[in-house]
Structure 1
Amino acid sequence: MERAAGGQAVTAYCVFISQLACTAEDVNLLQRAKVLEHFLGSDDEAARGLADLCNGVALDIDNVRRNYLKPTWLHLDRRCRMPLHNFKGLFHDKYCRNVFCRLVFFVVLVLFLCQVIQVTYAILAYHRPPK
């Protein structure tokens, strides 16, 4: 594994980044999350550059001693395969981008909960009328 001047492994990190942001959509998402910033002409150009970051690099990804990011990869893979996490991410990305949308969602949620309570009391009053 290649080491930087400070003695830190960089090959596993480069492979990780090249797999993390290999499409223009990935680069756009990482930019919106303020994880990545590029000064290239387009997100597609940045994605191509990141995808080609480790061309010709050989890394034994299954060897934990040589690949210090394997536990992170496994955790990220498990998290990405969970349907609940995918739904939450999609919902947040689609409907909760700004404060106004979050506020509207919260108001609708409160109104929905009020309706559920009202229906519950109506059902209970129907089955147990006052004496």
Structure 2
Amino acid sequence: MIPCATDLQLAGVKFKMNEKSDNILNVKFSHGVLEIPPFLIHYHTDILFRNLVAFEQCCLEAKFHVFTTYLVFMDYLVNTSKDVALLHRNGIIDHFLGSDDNVALLFNRICIGIFHNFNASYLSDVKDNVQKHCENKWNMWRASLKRDYFTNPWSFISLMAASILLLLTITQTFFNVFRYFRPRS
């Protein structure tokens, strides 16, 4: 449904910590930026998450399964320790579990056996917008260009110098051909 965080980064999605929100469920996506509120994972987070999911799955009054939706969304984002490291670098995930592999394992195991209709959830618009962004080839090309060729200012300066040199060469060739076909009298 949603690519993992490292794949989203390759598609040009930027991750930003939503500092203004006091609710970890407040996930937003606009203009290629996925804003996720920060949260802390400690040793008892696994138990807390499982209990909240069990409550939403068993309680008849809990129709929207808001926290389950959030955990399924995070499960899509986090597949490996590289995804956790990326989210940690952007200030979204902080943990006391020892390694990023343990956090990835927590998210990958938490949603096993859960039936959830993501299309009828509060994050369905976020999912749709992220998918549209990733399907747009221009976003992927632009992200690849930035990542591969514009990581430092010297590569940009080299591109500009090469472009100017090419423009001057084309101009010189044009005037030489023009002079050949229209000689001076």
Query: How much has 1:94 moved relative to structure 2?
Result: 4.8
The CA deviation string for residues 61-98 of structure 1, in whole angstroms up to 9 with x for no partner, is 232xxx011121122122223333334334444555xx
Alignment map for 1:91-130 (pairs within 5 Å): 91-94=145-148, 96=150, 101-129=151-179
SS at match of 1:68: coil
The match for 2:91 is: 34
Distance in 2, matches of 1:40 and 1:89, equals 32
Unaligned runs of 5+ in 1: 3-7
Distance 1:110 1:94, change over 3 A: closer
Greater relative contact order (Cα < 8 A, sep 6+):
2
Distance in 2, matches of 1:92 and 1:36, equals 25
Task: Report the RMSD for the aligned CA atoms in angstroms.
Answer: 2.9
Unaligned runs of 5+ in 2: 1-52, 57-64
Distance 1:92 1:24, change over 3 A: farther
Distance in 2, matches of 1:44 and 1:95, equals 31
Q: How many residues align?
A: 121
- For the pair 1:19 / 2:76, whether they are aligned, the reply is yes
The match for 2:27 is: none
Q: More deviation in 43-52 or 32-41? A: 32-41
Contact 2:149 2:156 in 1 (8 A): no
Distance 1:33 1:91, change over 3 A: farther
SS at match of 1:22: coil
Distance in 2, matches of 1:22 and 1:28, equals 11
Q: Percent identity?
A: 24
What TM-score do you get using the length of structure 1 for normalisation?
0.72
SS at match of 1:11: helix
The match for 1:80 is: 134
SS at match of 2:111: coil
Runs of 4 or more off by more than 6 Å in structure 1? none
